[in-house]
Structure 1
């Protein structure tokens, strides 16, 4: 073994590792993208990662990957969210019981896969496992809360992606998680793709300016306040469009979505102004960023906010919440930071994103993030932590 002078945790292994990375879906959510990019970076460093993903469609991730991928069949379930989670955990468990290929590290990226690995460890199928906590949900269901508790307390090593969640885990659970960080594929998102015009035509993106957010309609994304703020913007910028892309989640947020669409009708926002394309194929995501004029993400709670870094890599000015974890890597010089609970502030921030001089200053300053958040550095830090688990001193 050698030593990594730039890694805060010390020793890393020179030999390659076989690493199983588990994620709950193939659709592009934050923790899913984190899993894929970590796997790609580990592969480039000479290791052998394999991404195990629950897949309802059999279509995979919609992008070519260097690392191995194993799609875990996931069947429909119409018996409610608790039954769905229980079924998904069971699908992971049964898959690994049937496929006996061994890995040096088993790493869960979510609550669901962590519960599956805990069961497999108890059965003697694997010696230990790691879990990354991206954020903690406020579940009302005792069953879901118990799943979350187990997924945090039972891993042999717990990681998290921000200072905020590191402190939360210490205070709530009395554990000391290891702090890792996210990155962004700067090259992939910075170059304008050839299909920008085609995508704009396909989605009806003719507005000026075009505001983009990624993550779908749900409470923690603050979708309703964003919509209300956009309604305040329209009298000043009547040609503006708001694009809310995404929406792949285990939870349907039916009541919240009903309130959202009731507000659309009440505010008189028409179909030309509000664009809801649903899940955007991962291959088209860079083009979507380049089709927009500004990225608006006043989220109430995030693990990190990978889409913010992707937007910055694409050269967009960003509006986001003036709170952690965003303020761990952003400042008033690099982004428009607003109180996510204040609709008026969000609206004024959106108007500021239409001011060229202000926008240019944010975009220029945010370029400094390029050298600070790279997936290769993230992967190297993970390797250090993996090796410490495998070879404790």
Structure 2
């Protein structure tokens, strides 16, 4: 089978990582796969691929988000409309790629649209809501990665979306120390204890300000603790929220670079070592498609603190992670303290390891192939 996968970025956000890993697994099963990705800056993919990769030039963005999305959709349409290569499957992992495929289908240039809905956004913009609705309602085949969003698509859109799993690459993410880990800790200034890690950047749905406030409370018990907030590549401008974050950081008496470490987007080769350098993984997100980083942390041997809400509660039991109300600073701080205690940490890690065999990329690839057969 010849499969084209579309994604809005080459930076390692959740749906982009999903695209990379799915493409690799499909390729390893003997299929011809190519990723088409909007490539801002022309730097190529965040990690080398064994299959085809085509970076689509993403021109400098207009200031208005509606205009940005229109431009990104058109960049996909223009590029793919001129491609001689044809595929059996055209599969978009986001709203932008799916809207482009809908236009190309209308032009007779692709036979169908496959769309994975990782999560549904509450956009304020009427144009963005329309784009999101089009990408879902006009798809010939709709997939999702969690029960939460499968139920939401049934209730809000009347769609019977097929559920596929995410996975984790245990060849990359493991608890086994590597020689370069010490150098990485020195590079990022990880000298405290315990070290709390989150991955996903500073933005509202990651609940960053609540995490920061909880960390400040943790410091009363662990004064040498450090909080690492890695990642952050996104299409959207969260500057007002970031401004609030840094105002709160200063009011709490915390300092960037010593108490709170903000490495930004971490090079792909360094990410496994960053997990191994932490003591606890904290992810109090209020909206996720599934939460790939949680499974990466578990594979790296970290105890996890996350939200007591779907989709996390779909795959995590109370003995596998500390599940807390994401809006409660106190509950989050208490769980962060508890997860750093050796006995509790060891129990969480031991019980969570059973998840790893249930969520693999080859399993996901086979589920996708079965879904493609329905077209």
- Tell whether the structures are fold-level matches, with TM greater than 0.5: yes
Asked if the contact 1:39–1:49 (Cα under 8 Å) also holds between the matched residues in 2, the reply is: yes
30, 35, 47: which one aligns with 1:51: 35
Per the alignment, residue 291 of structure 1 pairs with 277
| Separation in 2, partners of 1:193, 1:101 | 42
Per the alignment, residue 112 of structure 1 pairs with 96
Provide the TM-score with structure 2 as the length reference. 0.98
Per the alignment, residue 379 of structure 1 pairs with 365
| Separation in 2, partners of 1:337, 1:169 | 25
Asked if the contact 2:275–2:297 (Cα under 8 Å) also holds between the matched residues in 1, the reply is: yes
Give per-residue Cα distances to partners, 1:234-272, cap 9 Å, x unaligned.
111010000000000001211111111110111111121
Classify the secondary structure of the residue corresponding to 2:262: strand
18, 33, 36: which one aligns with 2:20: 36
The answer to whether 1:75 aligns with 2:75 is: no
Per the alignment, residue 223 of structure 1 pairs with 208
Give per-residue Cα distances to partners, 1:311-331, cap 9 Å, x unaligned.
000000000001100011101
Deviation at 1:62, TM superposition (A): 3.1
Per the alignment, residue 316 of structure 2 pairs with 330
Classify the secondary structure of the residue corresponding to 1:35: helix
Give per-residue Cα distances to partners, 1:59-91, cap 9 Å, x unaligned.
122322111111111011233111110000000
Alignment of 1:273-352 (within 5 A): 273-352=259-338
| Separation in 2, partners of 1:154, 1:136 | 15
Name stretches of at least 5 consecutive residues in structure 1 with no aligned partner.
1-16
Deviation at 1:141, TM superposition (A): 0.4
Name stretches of at least 5 consecutive residues in structure 2 with no aligned partner.
none
Classify the secondary structure of the residue corresponding to 2:133: helix
Alignment of 1:1-393 (within 5 A): 17-190=1-174, 191-271=176-256, 272-389=258-375
Classify the secondary structure of the residue corresponding to 1:316: coil
| Separation in 2, partners of 1:78, 1:193 | 43
Asked if the contact 1:294–1:316 (Cα under 8 Å) also holds between the matched residues in 2, the reply is: yes
| Separation in 2, partners of 1:219, 1:44 | 37
Give per-residue Cα distances to partners, 1:6-43, cap 9 Å, x unaligned.
xxxxxxxxxxx110000000110000000000000000
Asked if the contact 1:131–1:151 (Cα under 8 Å) also holds between the matched residues in 2, the reply is: yes
Moved over 6 A (4+): none
Report the aligned-residue RMSD.
0.8
Provide the TM-score with structure 1 as the length reference. 0.94
CA 1:52–1:141 in structure 2 vs 1: closer, same or farther (change >3 Å)? same
Give per-residue Cα distances to partners, 1:278-317, cap 9 Å, x unaligned.
1111121101101111100000010000000000000000
| Separation in 2, partners of 1:76, 1:223 | 28
Asked if the contact 2:12–2:46 (Cα under 8 Å) also holds between the matched residues in 1, the reply is: no
| Separation in 1, partners of 2:106, 2:267 | 37
